[in-house]
Amino acid sequence: MARAEARGVTSKSAEEWRKSTLKKALERTPQRHALFETTSHIPQEVAYTAEDLAATNWDERERLGYPGEYPFTRGVQPTMYRGRLWTMRQYAGYATAEESNARYRYLLERGQTGLSVAFDLPTQMGYDADHPMAEGEVGKVGVSISSLDDMQQLLEGIPLDKVTTSMTINSTAAILLALYIAVARKQGVDPKVLSGTVQNDILKE
């Protein structure tokens, strides 16, 4: 408080702020709407303070916690990015597994720390490349994966125990994840050490 006063800043309550600074601002420029709310229809105040938390019996240890511990509000790592940087992945997927593999290895050699696989629409929808419904779409917006052989070619020479992989695959997520695990086993990698993310929103595509 002494520091604030030394800088010419007075300590005031939220109510005092509303009656002074906020009141003057609203007199100059009224709010565009009488009510502001989130997309879930939760009303939003102009500002929130510790006084609002006190009114809800909010428990800091229970609801906020510490970095690296549940509920992970303050991050999954205790030191966040002071130690290990976030995983850097460029979303990529060419028409064939071979082309995509070459791209992934190129990126990893130049410092990328993870993979982000872009699949074509037939793969996302669960159609093999030779299915009539896949005509004209194979390899168009990402890599085409129809079999375990395709997945092996996609990940050839990439150590899955050291590289994390993100797969944007939606409704066929379980199938592609199974293929990924099968390739890892062929590499001699225990599935327990695999890491990454699988987007599995079955309603997206």
For the chain, the three-class secondary structure string (H helix, E strand, C coil) is CHHHHHCCCCCCCHHHHHHHHHHHHHHHCCCCCCCCECCCCCECCCCCCHHHHHCCCCCHHHHCCCCCCCCCCCCCCCCHHHCCCCCCCCEECCCCHHHHHHHHHHHHHCCCCEEEEEECHHHHHCCCCCCHHHCCCCCCCCECCCCHHHHHHHCCCCCCCCCEEEEECHHHHHHHHHHHHHHHHHCCCCHHHCCEEEECCCCCC
Q: Please confirm whether the linkage preceding 159 is cis (ω < 30° from 0).
A: no
Residue 177's pLDDT is 95
Residue 104's pLDDT is 97
Whole-model pTM: value is 0.70
Q: What is the mean pLDDT of residues 186-199?
A: 94
Q: What is the mean pLDDT of residues 59-88?
A: 88
Residue 10's pLDDT is 63
Residue 202's pLDDT is 77
Q: Does residue 87 surpass a pLDDT of 60?
A: yes
Residue 116's pLDDT is 96
Q: What is the mean pLDDT of residues 12-26?
A: 92
Q: Does residue 127 surpass a pLDDT of 90?
A: yes
Q: What is the mean pLDDT of residues 174-198?
A: 95
Q: Does residue 88 surpass a pLDDT of 60?
A: yes
Residue 41's pLDDT is 95
- Given strand 196-199, what is the order of strands in its sheet? 91-92, 114-118, 164-168, 196-199
Contacts of 161 (CB under 8 A, 6+ apart): 184, 187, 189, 190, 193, 194
pLDDT category at 143 given cuts 50, 70, 90 is very high
Residue 39's pLDDT is 95
Tell me which of 6-20, 31-45, 85-99 is least confident.
6-20
